[in-house]
Structure 1
Amino acid sequence: MTLNHELRYGSVQHPFHLEYNRRKGHFSMATDHMHRHYELYYLFGGERYFFIKDRIYPVRSGDMVFVPSNEVHKTLDTGVPNHERIVLYFNMEYFDQMVDNEAELLLTPFHHGNRVIHLAEPEKLRIEHLLYDMLREIQDQSPGYEQPLTLGSLSERFYLSPSHLSRTFKKNTGFGLIEYIGITRTKEAQRLLRETDERITVISERSGFENFSHFEKVFKSFTRMSPRSYRSGFHQKET
């Protein structure tokens, strides 16, 4: 499937948002700018100059650029036409959802002296596979591609009143709708905690939870333990 020339997800008001562009010809940003979001820029193809703070960096295909919060920056044309890029924006509310050591780990590249990292071919292929999968999901907008599921949104989708949907769901399943969603997502999180070595914050997202604190709260309510304790206990049983 071919991606649109431009895709966007979220907005500046959200803890996370992104924008993707595949531009033809020559392009330079008109002015320097800064914002409170941390910015992660990846260049799929083409060449760019990236001005950050007081220095210009040459950027080529496979380069990842880290721009800290509130640091002046802009991108410039190199004379080579056409480029394809994605920019992911994270504000501090995004990192506040995580446990301290994970947030610190993810923020480290933004505070490192080297603003541009060139990925080796294996890492480049893996990162691009993940990014393109995400962009295809945003473009397709299949049912459920946005994680929040609420009684109101589901009742609109099925053209039923919230009260009627709630009663019908409980009559046929024995569970309240929100309770059922929590159980289903917790079971998926348990499977991922047992079968993968992925970070718990990633598992939280993959299981459909809106943020890490909500994930921990729901997980504990059904399992009587934290996700970290569940994983540790399962691994101890194996040994």
Structure 2
Amino acid sequence: MGVITSFLNGDQAVGMDYHQRTIGQSGYESDFHSHLEFEIYYFHNGECNYFINDKIYRLRPGDMIVMHGLTLHRPNPNLLIPYERTKVHFKPYYLENLIKAFNTLDLYRPFRQLKNTRMNLRHRENELERIFSALHQSYQLQGEPLYDARLQIYLLELLTLIYQSCAEKLDPHAFESGVNPKVANVQKVIDFIEDHFQEKSLTLDDVASGTYLSKYYISRIFKEITGAGLTDYITIKKVNLAKQLLLEGRTVTEAAFEVGYKHPAHFSRIFKQKVGMTADRYRKLNDMT
């Protein structure tokens, strides 16, 4: 099942998992998900295909992914070997005023303009580890007088490193073409879905016809590479777009029609199942006006 959720609760502005190491089914995000927070993900060790929006990244140690939170994403690690990563989630308002004080340098640009990007920072591993360690130590001091000041200092340092690395090391290639035929074919399926998922009816037969691949082959390799079912992915794509439309001020009915649902009541049931609340409540809770 796919879900759209939030990593942070209540007034919490920052969340962090430092050198999170798991093996087996538990301990990692097993569903497609999105959230209002920005996310920084750093891959230490293991084997993992990382699915972001309409791209598949085959991760190498030292890869960092910078994501706008509303981008639909999901890791699919090899569960037979240790999977180790560091993640930082934070709400955009947390550093907004400090960044505006820089006048010409917008450290949020990699998140807002690129939406999501992958770069390899293995060559800056020592510097990153120092920042992550300091950030983690500060994060554990919640409630102390200097908590926010320390956290903001190290977050700004991390964002500065990311800003520099996006300009110097940005990798425009989503995956290594030809390395793995299954990944290439799943990418073809994803590209087709990206172009057609807003249509009222998009079935496995449609995808097979549009990609010239067997529907049985598609079902098998899509699950193998992404870790999720094709139908569930299409549904989550629709709900995630609807979520963004609601944030932009569309009514529930307008959002339902725009993402391809003919009957708003059916859309509302699907939205509540995936998000955990009605579309109308979600729109009101996140009303920025």
In terms of fraction of residues, the more strand-rich structure is: 1
Q: Which has the higher contact order (CA 8 A, sep 6+)?
A: 2
- Calculate the TM-score normalised by the size of structure 2: 0.42
- Which structure's CA Rg is the greater one? 1
- Calculate the TM-score normalised by the size of structure 1: 0.49
